Amino acid sequence: MDGILKALVTLLVVVDPIGLAPLFAALTYGGSPSYCRRMAVRGTAIAALILVIFMFAGQALLRILGIGLPAFRIAGGALLFLLAIDMVFARQSGLRSTTEREQEEAGQRNDISVFPLAIPLIAGPGAITTVLLMSGSAEQGPMGVIVRLVVLFAVLLLALGALLLTTRIMRIMGETGANTFTRTSGIILAALAVQFMIDGLLAIIGPHLK
C-alpha cells in the first residue's frame, strides 16, 4: 500500500495537471472550444494507452534488456530528480515540455493530440518511468493490477479535467500561480526521487550488509 501511495503522489506530481493548463492554452491558442475539447480528450486517451502499455509490458522489456528493478529504481529516481529540478526552477526542458524546434513543428499542425500533448506533455519520460516503477513495486495479483489501473486513470482524469478547464484555471491562477504550484510539487518530487534511489541502492547492497 505504501508503494502504491508513493506511486500515486509521484505520478500526480510528474503529470502536473495544473502545470499542463498554460502549456495547453498556448498550444490551442485561437482554437474553438470544440477543438480544444477534442484535443484534450484525444490527447489524454492516447497518453493513457501509452502508459498502460508500459505498465504491463515494461517489466518484460527490462528483463529482455537484462536490467534489474533496483538498477531501474536508481536510474528512474535520477531522472525524476532532474525533472524535479526543472519544476522547482519553472524551466521547460525536454523532460516535461517540448524543445523549440518541436514547438515550431507542433505549430504547423492542426492536430496536437499525439504530439506534443500525449507525448511528451502527459506521457513523458517521467510518467513512463513512474508507471514502470509502480508496476515493479506493487502486488502482481489481480488486485494489484486493479489498484495500479485505478491510480493511473485517476491521475489521467485529473489531467483531462485540467485541460478542459484550462481557461478557468488560467483566469483564476494565471501563469504565476500555476508556476508556484509546480514549484511546490517539484520539491515533493525531489524527495520522492531520492527515496527511489535509496530503495534501489538498499536492494543492491542490503543483502551484503547482513
Q: Which three cell numbers stand for residue 12?
A: 500526480
Could you tell me the residue ranges of all domains in the chain?
2-204
Q: What phi, psi does 97 have (nearest 5°)? A: -155, -165
Distances (CA, A) of 47 to 64, 67, 89, 91, 97: 24, 25, 26, 22, 14
Q: In the predicted model, what is the mean pLDDT of residues 192-200?
A: 89
pLDDT tens profile 88-137: 887 766 555 555 665 565 555 578 899 889 988 899 888 998 898 887 66
Gap between the Cα atoms of 44 and 46, Å rounded: 5
Instruction: Give the type of residue at 145.
Output: V
pLDDT tens profile 50-99: 999 999 888 888 888 888 888 888 988 898 898 888 888 877 665 555 55
